[in-house]
Amino acid sequence: MSGSPHHLYLWLLAVTLSLVPGAQPLAPRDFQEEEENETLWSPLPPVPCDYDRCRHLQVPCHELQQAGPTACLCPGLSSPAQPPDPPRLGEVQTVAEEGRAVIRWCAPFSPVHQYWLLLSEGSRAPQQGAPLNSTVRKAELNGLNPGGAYVVCVVASNDAGESTVPKAGREGLEVAGDPAFGPCGRFTMPPRPLTLIHAAVGVGTALALLSCSALVWHFYLRQHCGCPRRGAIQAQQRL
Ligand SMILES: *[C@@H]1O[C@H](CO)[C@@H](O)[C@H](O)[C@H]1NC(C)=O
What pTM was computed for the model?
Answer: 0.65
Write down the mean pLDDT value for the chain: 79
Strand locations in 60-177, DSSP E?
A: 72-73, 88-95, 100-106, 114-121, 127-128, 132-133, 138-141, 149-158, 161-162
Ligand 1 atom closest to the CA of 134, numbered from 1? 1
Q: Using CA positions, which residue lies closest to atom 3 of ligand 1?
A: 136
Whether 238 has a pLDDT exceeding 70, the answer reads: no
CA angle 148, 149, 153 (to 5 degrees): 125
Dump pLDDT digits (tens) for 44-57: 678 899 999 999 99
Of 168 and 144, the structure prediction assigns the larger pLDDT to: 144
Q: Using CA positions, which residue lies closest to atom 12 of ligand 1?
A: 133
- Assess whether the C-beta atom of 136 lies below 6 angstroms from ligand 1: yes
- Assess whether the C-beta atom of 59 lies below 6 angstroms from ligand 1: no
Of 36 and 80, the structure prediction assigns the larger pLDDT to: 80
Ligand 1 centre from 138 Cα, in Å?
A: 11
Dump pLDDT digits (tens) for 80-113: 999 999 999 999 999 988 999 999 999 999 999 9
**Residue 97 DSSP label:** G
Radius of gyration (Cα) for the chain, nearest Å? Answer: 39
Helix/strand/coil for 209: helix
Ligand 1 centre from 57 Cα, in Å?
A: 7
Predicted pLDDT of residue 226: 56
Whether 200 has a pLDDT exceeding 70, the answer reads: yes
Predicted pLDDT of residue 178: 67
Contact by Cβ (8 Å): 114, 157: yes
Predicted pLDDT of residue 75: 94
For domain 88-188, say whether CATH 2.60.40.10 is its number: yes
Q: Please, which pLDDT band fits residue 43 given cuts at 50, 70 and 90?
A: low
Predicted pLDDT of residue 150: 94
CA–CA distance, 239 with 236 (Å, rounded to integer) = 5
Q: Please, which pLDDT band fits residue 10 given cuts at 50, 70 and 90?
A: very low
- Assess whether the C-beta atom of 133 lies below 6 angstroms from ligand 1: yes
Predicted pLDDT of residue 46: 80
Residue 48, phi then psi, degrees to nearest 5: -70, 145
Whether 78 has a pLDDT exceeding 60, the answer reads: yes
Q: Using CA positions, which residue lies closest to atom 5 of ligand 1?
A: 132
Q: Where in the chain is the domain with CATH 2.60.40.10?
A: 88-188
Q: Ligand 1: which of 114, 116, 135, 137 to mutate, most ligand atoms within 8 Å of CB?
A: 135
Q: Please, which pLDDT band fits residue 148 given cuts at 50, 70 and 90?
A: very high
Residue 185, phi then psi, degrees to nearest 5: -150, 160
Ligand 1 centre from 1 Cα, in Å?
A: 70
